[in-house]
Structure 1
Amino acid sequence: MSEQQIDWDLALIQKYNYSGPRYTSYPTALEFSEDFEDAAFLQAVARYPERPLSLYVHIPFCHKLCYFCGCNKIVTRQQHKADQYLDALEQEIRHRAPLFADRHVSQLHWGGGTPTYLNKTQISRLMTLLRENFHFNTDAEISIEVDPREIELDVLDHLRAEGFNRLSMGVQDFNKEVQRLVNREQDEEFIFALLNHARDIGFTSTNIDLIYGLPKQTPESFAFTLKRVTELNPDRLSVFNYAHLPTLFAAQRKN
């Protein structure tokens, strides 16, 4: 679609042209409160019984710390901690799923952290648990966030076999110096191989995440990153600003 074909609603743009929390979730993080008790949750569950469900599963574990990250995460190489976490998830799912017995799931997303921190057995365990407790539409969108440093092609094959059909890859920046400074060095050739393999085995939608405002980024270096992204040719591109909050995230003090 060319720019001339887009009907820009300037009044709508101006209405929301102010600073606020990043729109990565709804409600936004600032709206969450400990005052939201179980009675309010049950009331919300009953409000739109005819609507399909969108499920989000947070996998907080990472093997390495990215210095820019402000996500809820646990950096550890103790793989058994993921089993303990899945035990807790199983309890929550079995407790809450009956409330949604008459509704169907149209979307499932795994985020993190690093969802591909889980090994194949753990991935299958969680997917089996979800399918046993929720009714999925046959055309449900099943998506996962992938760290190209934390996945091999055979794991991608396993994800596809488990029903995943959408892939989001955190690239952030292709500049080697920027990657080094934020502790996220990655193999550029493998990123291309990973995305191409995802298409070959039937992933129907691919996304690339980028962050602007990282240490040592310049307009020229970011233009190079964008050029490489166009060569990757993902279906979608998500671009986030770097939020520098060193008082909250100690790792950001390294830069």
Structure 2
Amino acid sequence: MNGHGTIANELGVNGLWKQNPALIQMLGLCPTLAVSTSFVNAVSLGLATVVVMMIASTAVAVLRHVIPREIRIPVFILIIAGLVTVVDLLMNAYLHSLYLVLGIFVPLIVTNCIVLARVEAFAAKNRPDYAGLDALMMGLGLVWVLALIGAIREIIGQGTLFAGIEWIVPSWSAITLFGDASQGFLLAMLPPGAFIVLGFLVAAHNALTAWQKARTKKRTLAASAPAAPTPIGGEA
């Protein structure tokens, strides 16, 4: 039981932080930079990717012993393409306005390096529950980065937050932070703005990781340091 808990914790930490697909592995930069013009767009595509990753990874883990190694990549892509088609049709049917905004990036989940990389590197070598958990954590790691980039770009670029939320929940509306969208900083809404925000996030992630390592090393050295000898007679 403890072994399973340790593995689950490790998968969670790796996906959300240590091996974050957007900040560390630099995978899936196309949707990360292109769709993250708003919080809603970024999170929507991220969640669609999570659904595809989880089902694809679990399916591949279940079938890993019966898929011939020589044709594993075409089989993996076929499974992913089938799932993406289902997600694409569902979004077109029930979230049509959002679907029109996301456009070609929903079908392009098929070629997203994150999905195929986790299927090939992890799901094809591990049991289904671990494969599904790994996909979930890696996907959520992508989602929180996309959400942060989308929120920052939307706030700076057009002065709103949750723009487009009415496409998902009609009774909700965006939050306006300053009156006129033309007052926003246009660069934030353009591709260079996405690179700049991502660069700052990567730098912050690296700085926090270095601080954590230094703190852990300091604690380890303090714990392993020999205790001071007791003076003879108990006197200093």
Give the TM-score category using the shorter length.
Answer: under 0.3
| Higher helix fraction (1 or 2) | 2
Based on CA coordinates, which of the two structures has the bigger radius of gyration?
2
Q: TM-score, normalised by structure 1?
A: 0.21
| Higher strand fraction (1 or 2) | 1
Structure with the bigger RCO (C-alpha within 8 Å, sep 6+) is 2
Q: TM-score, normalised by structure 2?
A: 0.23
